[in-house]
Structure 1
């Protein structure tokens, strides 16, 4: 959940205007080509645009998993892959079942922290990932555990000598490197996996905690409270786990606003700001000598969602696969909202889904002309990314093609709607040898590869490629850039960004007819050329020394 980048990639620059239609206020648009050509292929902008518009239409209802919107999306994608002539991969269908459970916490929550009554949505957002009918917690001790990190390689353990049984951890967002980028702590401004909310809940579970609450702070989180409110309320999907794994999870998890957290700490006799400074300097844990009362009902509903998986077989090394991933899901409908209540998810991620369709079409057309690839390409439109990379996590754990035969992953999560750029952003640049293929392809467009402008947002850990990186498969998330091609593009970008401000995970992320998609087509060409080069050689890229994943599949040097 993703300014991740001027990459537009996770669209955190993105934005909001109140209307929800294809019409929008006039934006100066630079001259754009109708298609982007590379080698013998030509991307069709009209078709790419049409896919985005259809997938993000009101008819698709925001594409939430296990809804009518999912059924429409699955039918649309399956029909598209069938028309291309791609192989089905799972029991003669393009659909891979992903067993999911949807947890819906009641909006009527009674929450008291240190005797302070907290208002659901306004002050705090809590949920549970257990099928027990709800949560009823009384007098649970609150413990501040700094950043909630247990990282032996950094000699850092915020849980040192703590017994968290029956207690609720209160945790800072991001990791210590964010507060002191000039130090050698963690990875400086660039977030490590220890900074991700998902890690913090996982670690609290491993520590035996009853619950965990993350203190929201816009800068280190890289998104405002509105994103938390929109993303963490309503139905929350998750994978179905074994009973043993389920029992080990914390009972309650969620977020609290900074103002409410400061009030909590003040009631406990502490000022939060100095404690935040201490937590960034060294591991810390502190009993707040206060308790929590939390009560709300919750229901669990079980249903399969689906990844859409299609393969273009290779020739000489068909058992070796290069993956393209893009999540088809978004947030769906919020029935509690008046007026426009559909989270259309045009940029995030109808655009990325349309991107893998267009890339697949071009490779399929080339194969029909006798220009096939040696290695196989597999295209995966994943479910449940917005709920914690669920579809990609499931595929990685239950691969249709073996992980040790998976050469690399190219991930699209939002595309560049701000026009062509002079540079090319690789999120988390410096991770793996796979990036060299992107750098070479970008050079062909006279573009310079750079890393994202806001590495503190932890972009490398926030989209589907990460599910494969954790298993050692070189995976990249790239596209866009921060330097517009020319002055006309710069003026257009400034106007469009103003129009789209606040639309990340909001109802105003809808299709806009005046988007300049020439930059997106430019980026599709980079991915196409990189995959083409890798698919026609015998290279197995690996992770560089210094990467968290080097030990899993090391680079040759």
Structure 2
């Protein structure tokens, strides 16, 4: 759960912050720097995506040969572009990690209940593992408790753990948050952090639970079981110095497995339906199981790749562009292909860093603030590279103006509109609108706010530290009138998320990607010539964090 600071704004503090707040860009940014924009090239962009997403890079998983190839390639590109190293004289920021390969000792789990017993199969019915840094974890017996959504949210008057002692027990919880089911609860269709799987694991650990199992639902989670099966198995990374409390095991149940589990549990009337309503009380299922996990631990370091263009007037103030370089490596074969190349996710974003750097270097008026470019590690493993950077920043966070994060571009075509993930959170929205207008584009909120996209990429670690983060992409209104070609591209590119088929091929249309890159550049370029610091908006749950950050 995001820490919320209590903040009382006195007149003195209001005066202090007034110079740092801006509702809109203050420079005369009505015109575009054509020289800078012309530096953004389809040819070089495509070449960099092709290289990063090639089979040679083996899916760019940290701790593998693909890691070394990727970070060296990125550092070399930064040097070639004339960017300065950002970590003293180095282009690398080492990120100490531990790789945990966690598997159940048995491929089936037996559950005993008052209405019978069932055996669930690993991968097909459940996924389970542990982030405990122990080689073997044995839980002789643990009782299951259905704890609704597994949420404690005082501001929404919701507490699924009220009066419940889960020490030694395993909590079974639903995906997402109550607003997904009842638009009068929480933020309706817009998922809160309480709906994220990361929060559910964290809260179960805070409550002292032995384990936690999330019931998968494709609509609520916004991805299918195949993503669970591939993403939560095999080697998993964590920060080596991560001292946050953890349950002994974490996992997921398929929807069918959960239904089977409820059938053998103590009789209850529509427990899931009851859990969707305020006032739900957790229910012991009277089901038990025995779990033994075996962990293989490997300690090593990965790297964030860091480079900068120093500001001409206020070099101590920094605007940070980020894109994660990592993907899923070599995994379970799909149609004979086992390399998860990650072209859209996120070779596309890293290649955009290079194009934006080229534009800044070519700009007629140089940035007054420093522009920092970070290719982050470990995003797919839980936003690890950005978590490490925000805990160990190269520039003080109180001097960090904003984070502009690029994670996956839309290769299906150019759109008139722009979609801002987490629209309404900060004054970065105003900068998007200001720059979009120059290109004749309009700004919309995110397409699927129930997916919790605002909490699912690297900008969120900056947000948790009080730094406004921008995460955006193309919209829904396509410029092309050739609907047949557009639909053929969409069909050809469908289903590639976290799959070996996420490759660069002839189906890609680069017009929309380049249009979005130009927009990303202009937003940061506008910020780079200002003295103001954009803030979180008044109704944002991160506003107090943002104001507090500036006083540190």
Q: Do these two structures clear the TM 0.5 threshold for a shared fold by scoring above it?
A: yes
1:277 partnered with 2:279: no
2:433 equivalent in structure 1:
439
Match of 2:521 in 1: 528
Q: Determine the C-alpha separation between the residues in 2 that align with 1:107 and 1:501.
A: 33
Q: Where do 1:62-81 residues align within 5 Å? A: 62-81=59-78
Of 262-271 and 428-437, deviating more is 262-271
Alignment partner of 2:405 out of 405, 408, 411:
411
User: What SS does structure 2 have at the residue aligned with 1:146?
Assistant: coil
Find 1:49's aligned residue among 43, 46, 49.
46
- CA distance change for structure 1 residues 356 and 270 in 2, over 3 Å: closer, same or farther? farther
> Residues 300-342 of structure 1, C-alpha deviation per residue, up to 9 Å, x if partnerless?
1111011011111001111000000100000000167782100
- Compared with structure 1, are the counterparts of its residues 475 and 438 closer, same or farther at alpha carbon in structure 2 (3 Å cutoff)? same
CA RMSD of aligned residues (A): 1.7
CA-to-aligned-CA distance 1:512-533 (integer Å, 9 cap, x gap): 1331111011111111111111
1:370-416 deviations in Å (ceiling 9; x for gaps): 62111010011100100110000110111111111100011100012
Aligned to 1:175: 177
Give the gaps of 5 or more residues in structure 1.
1-36
Name whichever of 510-519 and 215-224 sits farther off.
Answer: 510-519
Name structure 2 gaps, 5 residues minimum: 1-31
Q: Distance in 1 between matches of 2:406 and 2:33?
A: 19
- What SS is found at the alignment partner of 1:388? coil
Partner of residue 33, structure 1? none
Residue number in structure 1 paired with 2:109? 111
Once the two structures are TM-superposed, the CA of residue 450 in structure 1 deviates from its matched residue by 0.3
User: Does structure 1 conserve the Cα–Cα contact (< 8 Å) formed by 2:59 and 2:341?
Assistant: yes
Superposed counterparts of 1:131-530, under 5 Å = 131-181=133-183, 183=184, 185-241=185-241, 245=243, 248-270=245-267, 274-282=270-278, 283-334=280-331, 339-366=336-363, 371-488=365-482, 490-530=483-523
Against the structure 1 CA distance between its residues 276 and 266, is the aligned structure 2 distance closer, same or farther, given a 3 Å change threshold? same
Match in the other structure for 2:34: 39
1:552 alignment partner, SS class: helix
CA distance in 2 between partners of 1:200 and 1:473 (Å): 24
CA distance, structure 2, for counterparts of residue 138 and residue 496 of structure 1: 52
TM-score normalised to the size of structure 2? 0.90
Question: Paired residue for 2:19?
Answer: none
CA contact (8 A) 2:104 2:292 kept: no
Matched residue pairs, number?
510
Q: 1-side partners of 2:348 and 2:404: how far apart? A: 15
Distance 2:207 2:321 in 1: 36
Residues 252-277 of structure 1: per-residue CA shift (max 9 Å, x gap): 001110010011011104468x3222
Structure 1 match to 2:13: none
- Contact kept, 8 Å, 2:99 with 2:236, in 1: the verdict is yes
Once residues 189 and 240 of structure 1 are traced to their aligned partners in structure 2, the CA distance between those partners, rounded to angstroms, is 36
* Deviations 1:281-310 (CA, angstroms, capped at 9, x unpaired): 114311111112112312111110110111
Contact 1:98 1:305 in 2 (8 A): yes
For 1:265 and 1:90, the matched residues in 2 are separated by 53
TM-score under structure 1 normalisation?
0.89
Question: How far does residue 144 in structure 1 lie from its aligned partner after superposition?
Answer: 0.8
Q: Distance in 2 between matches of 1:212 and 1:254?
A: 6
Q: Structure 1: how far apart are the matches of 2:50 and 2:474? A: 20
Post-superposition CA distance 1:8-38 (Å, at most 9, x none):
xxxxxxxxxxxxxxxxxxxxxxxxxxxxx95
1:539 & 1:516 partners in 2: Cα distance?
A: 37
Which protein, 1 or 2, shows the higher relative CO under an 8 Å CA cutoff with sep ≥ 6? 1
